Structures are given as structure tokens and as C-alpha cells.
Amino acid sequence: MTALLEVEDLRTSFKVESGRFQAVDGIDLRLEAGRTLGVVGESGCGKSVTALSIMGLVASPPGEVAAAKIRFEGRDLLALSADAMRDLRGDRLAMIFQEPMTSLNPAFTVGDQIAEAIQRHRGLDRAAAWARAVEMLRRVHIPAAEARAHDYPHKLSGGMRQRVMIAMALALDPKLLIADEPTTALDVTVQAQILDLLRRLRAESGMAILIITHDLGVIAELADDVTVMYAGKVVERAPVEALFEAPQHPYTIGLLGSIPRLEREQARLDAIEGVVPNPLSPPAGCRFHPRCPFAEARCREAEPGLGPVGPSHFAACWRTPLP
Amino acid sequence: MTAPLLEARGLVKHFPVRRGLFGRVSGQVRAVDEIDFTLAKGETLALVGESGCGKSTTGRLVLRLIEPTAGEVRFEGQAVFDLSDGQVRALRRKMQIVFQDPYASLNPRMTVGEILSEPLALHDLAPAAERPARVERLLREVGLAPDHARRYPHEFSGGQRQRIGIARALAVEPALIVCDEPVSALDVSIQAQVLNLLKALQGRFGLAYVFIAHDLAVVRHVADRVAVMYLGKIVEQAPTKALFAAPRHPYTRALLSAIPVPSPKARRNRVILEGDVPSPIDPPPGCRFHTRCAYAVPRCKTEAPALVERAGHAVACHRADELPAESPVPRAERGPGAERLARLQAAFSQGRE
Ligand SMILES: Nc1ncnc2c1ncn2[C@@H]1O[C@H](COP(=O)(O)OP(=O)(O)OP(=O)(O)O)[C@@H](O)[C@H]1O
Ligand SMILES: Nc1ncnc2c1ncn2[C@@H]1O[C@H](COP(=O)(O)OP(=O)(O)O)[C@@H](O)[C@H]1O
Ligand code: SF4
Ligand code: SF4
Ligand SMILES: [Mg+2]
Ligand SMILES: [Mg+2]
């Protein structure tokens, strides 16, 4: 079966004053139609750059996207013209961002913004596009959608804006929705509403979702498969049950230990010390070794490759399988 | 029983709503509406609720950064709102605040050394010659390096900036720190580091915290007692253990139910709280939560429930005794997988296997 999205050996670099660095350093992703893939990792690990690279939204210069393959519905996105890519975006392939205001235009009402996108891609007349926009606002559970369609974005709460973003992204029935930290700036209650909404819309439309987050709790709620990224690389990949039941990479284990648990008291959280390395000077050997309690001499010298550790389960660590 | 470190009684803060800059007052934002709480030395009280429930306003009242509409706050027995300006300055030595957005609260043109020296000078805590050594000690205390003193806030990550904000609060050796969503803007991993730091500092210096948050999982980890706020009111207040063992207010239960559990097996049939918090300008009559409550009955629309305490656990709901027994707090997982994971995770705390 051919995948909906296939990414092979994606390498995205940026030129800065002191040289060029690799923000994403050779990663593979694969997503089947209707499935949900979670990409998780700390801030600065290259998650957003991965998403923007797929969407063709990395500004060049300073960015440069290289890959052996980026295929969506069998089409080679690397070979598409800028115009063809623009037609695809917002249509078959849509994206929502952490901060909804970055993609909402403060000068237009939310109804106008959604209707405009529908008109441009589908050639509907104004009235039909507006009706569809209101219908979309209703589908994302915006109360009094007809009235709200006339509001400007700044009048809406954070949760409402994120709903509007989702309505806009889904207005054209995309096959793939890329959601980059869609709930990170929100209260837990609004986060629960948005995750529930994404689950429901996914069931209705059969779209696939690529969800990006630093929170494994969100991954557990939504994803079928998980890719864990650290410092521009994939360090673990597994079906969601296997990842949570038998995580193999120390980084994944550390991320799980960082989460304060609702169901038990803890004197102390098992936090990962330190921070993600500066991509201009990544550590030699395994990039996680300065923060890894399992590190050995070889970890500082040679870089481990991504190898099988179970059915459809891969990890990049010299010490796996960990007992 | 010894007197509490901090005590709030009948605390109210209404902000006038004006039409235009100098227009007539057309209403009141009822940000905080008659709340009571106490806090002992070395203890942590969490204030929890959604955005706009009045948590930050409460924190600012405690520090007298704003004046109340009514009510009283006592700190070490002193009535905070009766103090003169000079006395308020002395009070700031004992009560500090740490904000959610560390960047906005640090002066970008000052080095970290200058930022940390400022309170020492302001409160005459150390002569100029001793300040560098004090700054160095503060930096170590919060897990930063002495040479960080020469750098500027923009050179630090979000988590490091939060450490700087904590060091600044610690500089005056306070008895109480109001932590206003100190980890809400941080990645889960950095959040864990900062939470561990706050707990360690509390143990070392006997600090009391008013800890403001919207995530009850974080609260379970840091607080001794929890006050859940909704639209300016405390709707449930209890020791942390009691609250998590048997949450009694429908709003508390909804907040608990909203937290994602990092286990795909636990994907729950949750009660999703629909909609946003209503406007505090014109809060719903009766029980303020009735517009979103799954258990509301006609009485809830007209009659405001009183906060009733039983064995230290206070709740304001007409139907608190009729709610289903099943708790929205998931059960802890057991079995070989969970044991293996706990063992491996502990390596991160020990720094080795
Ligand atoms: N200076 C002010 N003037 C008018 N209204 C205010 C002022 N400060 C706060 N409010 C209002 O009072 C209510 C409570 O605000 P507060 O900041 O205390 O909420 P919060 O619980 O801290 O929320 P958040 O989670 O968003 O920080 C809100 O409706 C807010 O808009
Ligand atoms: N436009 C850009 N120019 C230069 N560096 C960038 C740019 N966008 C991202 N980066 C860098 O690339 C790395 C990965 O960033 P990002 O993908 O945003 O991380 P994440 O989404 O995982 O938090 C970071 O070091 C970030 O600073
Ligand atoms: S390879 Fe070594 S340093 Fe890297 S994650 Fe595995 S044990 Fe840790
Ligand atoms: S008093 Fe009524 S509306 Fe309020 S929380 Fe209890 S059941 Fe719900
Ligand atoms: Mg990002
Ligand atoms: Mg606040």
C-alpha cells in the first residue's frame, strides 16, 4: 500500500552568521491515509521545521530543504512549482499553528477569511462560500456561528481562535492536516475541547493528522503511531501502545518521567537535566549523551543508527533493548 | 494553633468597566468576589481554575500590587491594606512574585548580575562589595552558573529565564512567593526541572508558596492544599490528598477530566467542559457554574450555593453529595511494564543507572 505521505532523509538547514546548521538532519516519516502520526520532542528539536519543510513553507534563504523523497498522494512535492504547491496547501494539505493569530488576518472577519479561501480554491460564488464558512464554524462548535462569522479575530478567546483556524484548515476537506502544537498555548479544558474536536472531525472526514507536540499526554490522546525527535534526528519510532508500554530510547523514557501524573503522588519528578544542544555544535556520538544517565564510553564516540527493537518499533541507542 | 503566615478574609476586587477612556462606568468586572483562605509558613496553597477566574488578581491583591474593593489580607498578623507606603516596601522583602512569562518580567537592558543585585541594594541587604558573592550564590541556588551574571536575559532559554526570575525573588530571602503560572509556558521537560527546583528551594528555605496554575496534575505535585476558583469564587478547597481522593465539585471534576493521561489505554470517556468561562461582568445568577454544569437542576439557576466545610474539605455545590462515586482521577498503572519504566525513569533523578 502506498502511503499518503512519505518523507525520506529530510535535511533542512539554515544559514546564520556563524555558519550553516542542520535543523533537521535526515529524518524519515510515513503516514497512511486516515491515520494519525504524532511527532514529539522538546522545543528546538526540529519539529516545526519538519512540518514547514513538508508544506514548502521554509523561506530560502536562509533555509534550504533537501530530501531523498517528499511524496504526498504519490506526488513528488519537491518537484512541484511554487504555484502548484500553493494550490495544494489549504486544499489537500492543510496546517494549523500554535499561535492562531499568525495565520488569521486581523483586518478581516473570520467568516470572510474562511469564505475567501473556499472561493479561491473551489470557485464557488460569494453566497455559497459564505454559507460553507458558517457551516464550518458550526462544525467546530462555535456557538451562534452566523453571528460569530462577522467577528474580527481579536474579539475571540484563544480557544475560539484555534477553532476558527481548524474550521479554515478543514473547509476544503484536506486529506492531511498538519497540526503544530495546536493546544500548547491553551488551558487544559480548552485543550481537551480541541483534542476532542480533532478526533470527531477525523472520524467524520477520514483525514490523516500529523500532530506535533512536546507533550506525550497529547500524543497518547490522539496518535496511532509516534516518532520521537531529538536534536534534528528521529530517536524512536513505534505504534502508540508500544511506545508508552515499552519505550526503548532513554530520551523517550525521560520525557515520560517529566510528566506530573494525576494518578499518583511523587516526591520529585524524574526530570531530564540540561537542555537541547545548540544545533550549531551538536555533541559528538549520540546527541543525547550529555543528558543521558545510561551513557557509556561508546556513546560519546559513535552515533547509533535507528535499529529494530520490536514489531514496527525502532530506536537509535547503543544500549537498547534496555532491561 | 499558631497564627497563619497569610490570611485572606472576604477578599473582593471589582474593576470598573468604562465606555471609552474617560467615559461613565457602565459595569463592574467581578474578578474576585469574596474569597477566604489561609496559608501556613512553609506551605503551598494552589489556586486553580481556567483563564479569567481571578487567580492572578488574587495573587496581586495578596502582594498589594492592587487595592481591594473590600476585605482583608493579613501577613504575619499585619493588615496588608492598612500599611503605609514605607511599610509596603518592607513587606515586599517578605513577599515576592514569579510570573508566567519570565521574559516580560526581566529588564532586557540589565545583565543578570544587575537584575539580581537590584533587590539587594533596594532593601539594603548587602553592601556593594558583597553583592557579587551573593549573586553568585543565588545563581548556584537555582542551578545556573556564576558566569551567567554577565549575560543578558535574551541569551537564555525560557526555562533558564524562569530560574533567573526565581533567583530574583529569592534575593530578599522572602517568607512567601506568589508563583503565577510559573511553568505554564514551558515544555514538559523544562517544567519538570523548574517544579523540582521550586520544591527543593521550599525545603531548604522554609518558603511558603501561593501557586497559581490551570493544570491539576502540576498542582498535585506541588501543593499541600488546593483552592479551585471559578468566576471569582472559590468553589472547592481541600488538602491536596483529600481533593484527589474524592473531588466533590463538578467543576473540579471537569478540570481533572480534561488532563490528558500519558497512556493510550487510559483514553477516557471524559466529560468535556463545553464553551468558555462566561463574562465576569455579568456572571450567571445562582451557581455561577450552572451554564456549563452537567448536574445543574432548576435550583442552581436561582440560588447560589454556600461554601460548606466538612472535615477540612469545603465545597460550594447544591448537589455535592449526589454526584456519581466514580472519580475522574485515573488509576495508577501496575505490572511489569510500569515497574520497568519506574526503574528506568529513576535513573534520571539519580544521574546514573
Ligand atoms: N486591571 C483590570 N481591569 C479590568 N479587568 C481586569 C483587570 N485585571 C483583570 N481583569 C479581569 O478580571 C478577571 C480575572 O482576571 P485574572 O487575571 O485574575 O484571571 P486569571 O485567573 O489569572 O486568568 P489567566 O489564567 O488568564 O491568567 C478577568 O475577567 C480579567 O479580564
Ligand atoms: N527561520 C529560521 N532561521 C534560523 N533558524 C531556525 C529557523 N526556524 C527554526 N530554526 C532553528 O531550527 C531548530 C529547530 O527549530 P524548530 O523546528 O522550530 O523546533 P521545534 O518545533 O521542535 O521546537 C532550532 O534551533 C531553531 O532555532
Ligand atoms: S546511545 Fe548512549 S547516550 Fe545515546 S541514548 Fe543510548 S545510552 Fe544514552
Ligand atoms: S450548584 Fe448546581 S450548577 Fe452549581 S456546580 Fe452544583 S450542581 Fe452544578
Ligand atoms: Mg515548534
Ligand atoms: Mg493569570
For the Cβ of A295 lying below 6 angstroms from any atom of ligand 3, the answer is yes
* pLDDT per residue as tens, chain B (353 positions): 567 999 999 999 999 988 777 778 888 999 999 999 999 999 999 999 998 899 999 999 999 999 999 999 999 999 999 999 999 999 999 999 999 887 788 999 999 999 999 999 999 899 999 999 999 999 999 999 999 999 999 988 888 999 999 999 999 999 999 999 999 888 999 999 999 999 999 999 999 999 999 999 999 999 999 999 999 999 999 999 999 999 999 999 999 999 998 988 876 667 788 878 888 998 999 999 999 999 999 999 999 999 999 999 999 999 999 998 888 888 888 888 999 999 999 999 998 88
Determine the pLDDT at residue A26.
96
Contact A85, A72 (CB under 8 A): no
| Helices assigned H by DSSP within chain A | 47-55, 82-88, 110-122, 126-139, 145-148, 158-170, 188-205, 216-222, 240-245, 250-258, 297-301
Residue A129 has pLDDT above 60, yes or no: yes
The rounded distance, in Å, linking the Cα atoms of B30 and A265 is 35
Asked if the Cβ–Cβ distance from B341 to A260 is below 8 Å, we say: no
- Express each pLDDT in A51-60 by its tens digit: 999 999 999 8
The cell for A146 is: 452566523
Contact A289, A295 (CB under 8 A): yes
Residue partners of B29: CB distance under 8 A and separation at least 6: B14, B15, B16, B17, B280, B281
The rounded distance, in Å, linking the Cα atoms of A139 and A162 is 13
Dihedrals phi, psi of B186, to nearest 5 degrees: -105, 155
For the Cβ of A10 lying below 6 angstroms from any atom of ligand 2, the answer is no
The cell for A281 is: 555544535
- Please tell me if residue B103 touches chain A, with a CB cutoff of 8 Å: no
Closest approach atom of ligand 3 to CA A296:
2
* Closest residue to atom 3 of ligand 2, CA basis: A14
Chain B residues close to A148, C-beta within 8 Å: none
Asked if the Cβ–Cβ distance from A157 to B276 is below 8 Å, we say: yes
Closest approach atom of ligand 3 to CA A251:
5
Asked if the Cβ–Cβ distance from B332 to A264 is below 8 Å, we say: yes
For the Cβ of A22 lying below 6 angstroms from any atom of ligand 2, the answer is no
Coil, helix or strand for B318? Answer: coil
Closest approach atom of ligand 4 to CA B294:
8
Determine the pLDDT at residue B200.
96
Indicate which ligand has the atom closest to the C-alpha of B58: 1
- Give A289 Cα–ligand 3 centroid separation in angstroms: 6
Asked if the Cβ–Cβ distance from A215 to B341 is below 8 Å, we say: no
- For testing the chain B interface, which of A252, A258, A266 should be mutated: the one with the most B CBs within 10 Å? A258
Dihedrals phi, psi of B342, to nearest 5 degrees: -60, -40
Q: What is the mean pLDDT of chain A?
A: 93
Asked if the Cβ–Cβ distance from B276 to A269 is below 8 Å, we say: no
- Express each pLDDT in A133-180 by its tens digit: 999 999 888 888 999 999 999 888 888 888 899 999 999 999 999 999
- Please tell me if residue A7 touches chain B, with a CB cutoff of 8 Å: no
Indicate which ligand has the atom closest to the C-alpha of A52: 2
Determine the pLDDT at residue B273.
87
For the Cβ of A43 lying below 6 angstroms from any atom of ligand 2, the answer is yes
The pTM score is: 0.93
A193 vs A67, residue with greater confidence: A67
Query: Residue B320 has what DSSP assignment?
Result: G
- Please tell me if residue B349 touches chain A, with a CB cutoff of 8 Å: yes
Count Cβ neighbours within 10 Å for each residue of B268-283 and write b for 16 or more, e otherwise: eebeebeebbbebeeb
In sequence order, the β-bridge partners of residue A24 are A12
What's the ipTM?
0.92
The rounded distance, in Å, linking the Cα atoms of B219 and B241 is 11
- Please tell me if residue A195 touches chain B, with a CB cutoff of 8 Å: yes
Give, in order, the Cα–Cα distances in Å from A214 to each of A159, A162, B137, B343: 19, 18, 32, 23
Q: Which three-class secondary structure string do you get for A39-67?
A: EECCCCCCHHHHHHHHHCCCCCCCEEEEC
Q: Report the gap between the CA of B140 and the closest CA in chain A (Å).
A: 14
Work out how many CB contacts closer than 8 A connect A with B.
179
Closest Cα to residue A191, out of B258, B184, B256, B219? B258
The rounded distance, in Å, linking the Cα atoms of A43 and A29 is 19
Determine the pLDDT at residue B88.
93
Torsional class of B131: left (φ above 0), alpha (ψ -120 to 50), beta (otherwise): alpha
- Give A26 Cα–ligand 3 centroid separation in angstroms: 19
- Express each pLDDT in A200-254 by its tens digit: 999 999 999 999 999 999 999 999 999 999 999 999 999 999 999 999 999 999 9
Dihedrals phi, psi of B91, to nearest 5 degrees: -65, -35
Indicate which ligand has the atom closest to the C-alpha of A41: 2
B6-18 and B70-75 strand pairing: antiparallel
* Cis before B16 (ω within 30): no
Determine the pLDDT at residue A144.
87
The cell for A196 is: 476532542
Contact A125, A155 (CB under 8 A): no
Q: Is B114 exposed, middle or buried (CB count within 10 Å of its CB: 0-12, 13-18, 19+)?
A: middle
Alpha-carbon torsion angle A159, A161, A165, A166, nearest 10: 30
- Express each pLDDT in A62-86 by its tens digit: 999 999 999 999 999 999 999 999 9
For the Cβ of B29 lying below 6 angstroms from any atom of ligand 4, the answer is no
Closest Cα to residue B268, out of A46, A40, A196, A315? A196
- Give A303 Cα–ligand 3 centroid separation in angstroms: 9
For the Cβ of B286 lying below 6 angstroms from any atom of ligand 4, the answer is no
Q: Chain B neighbours among A 122-161 (CB < 8 Å)?
A: 141, 143, 157-160
Q: In what order do the strands lie in the sheet with B308-310?
A: B95-98, B176-180, B208-213, B44-48, B225-230, B233-239, B313-315, B308-310
Cβ atoms within 10 A of the Cβ of A258, count?
27
Determine the pLDDT at residue B269.
66
Q: What integer is the mean pLDDT of A113-142?
A: 92
Q: Chain A neighbours among B 195-224 (CB < 8 Å)?
A: 195-196, 199, 214-218, 220-221
Residue partners of A14: CB distance under 8 A and separation at least 6: A20, A21, A23, A62, A63, A64
Determine the pLDDT at residue A102.
75
